[in-house]
Amino acid sequence: MLDVVWVVLPVLGAFFVHAPVMRWDVLPALKVPLDGGATFRGRRLFGDNKTWRGALAMGGGVCGLTLLLSCSSAYWSRLPAEIRTAGPLVFGLLLGAGTVVGELPNSFLKRQLGIAPGTQRRSVGGVLLSLYDQADFVPGIWLLLLPIWVMSMAQVAVAFAVVSAVHLVLNVVGWAIGARSVPI
């Protein structure tokens, strides 16, 4: 059951790359919204915070850390056999893409509800949405890994809980180094 923690471990690469990119405004030419300004029902699809720069930094960070970790048999041997058979590059690309794509439905939902990027609603629904926001990419990872590995619902729940806890800590670290405007 806890093997899923090893599967999602490379997602930390998204933070390791994206936080410094945001903090020092690296590659500003790629700071272009993924949605290109498109709207649905008069509201932006994803908003200005979901950029090509962020997608490339996060996806690349996940893939890069996957490739680095795969060099260690202590890490690689802990992954499910199906993932090891697919190889580190395929796994890293799918995991990175799942991390990026998995955040988009939540961003779309928040824009349609009129919640501005980086803000929260002070209600029960707002708190639940904020909690979901901490690990919203886990369903995307589950979906994009399906061609090589099927994650059980129990594994999805464990991944969601672990990623949420780690993400909350990383949010505070990101805020402390100036990569975020709010701690959570």
pTM equals 0.92
Beta strands in the chain (DSSP E): 39-40, 43-44
Residue with tokens 């395929």: 90
How many residues are there in the chain? 184
pLDDT band at 167 (very low <50, low <70, confident <90, very high): confident
* 3-state class (DSSP) for residue 44: strand
How distant, in Å, are the alpha carbons of 61, 93, 136, 138, 147 from that of 100?
A: 11, 11, 10, 10, 17
As a dihedral over the C-alpha atoms of residue 70, residue 75, residue 77, residue 82, rounded to 10 degrees, the angle is -60
Residue with tokens 């969601």: 160
pLDDT in tens, 86-135: 999 999 999 999 999 999 999 999 999 998 877 777 888 877 888 888 89
The pair of structure tokens assigned to 117 is 């990027």
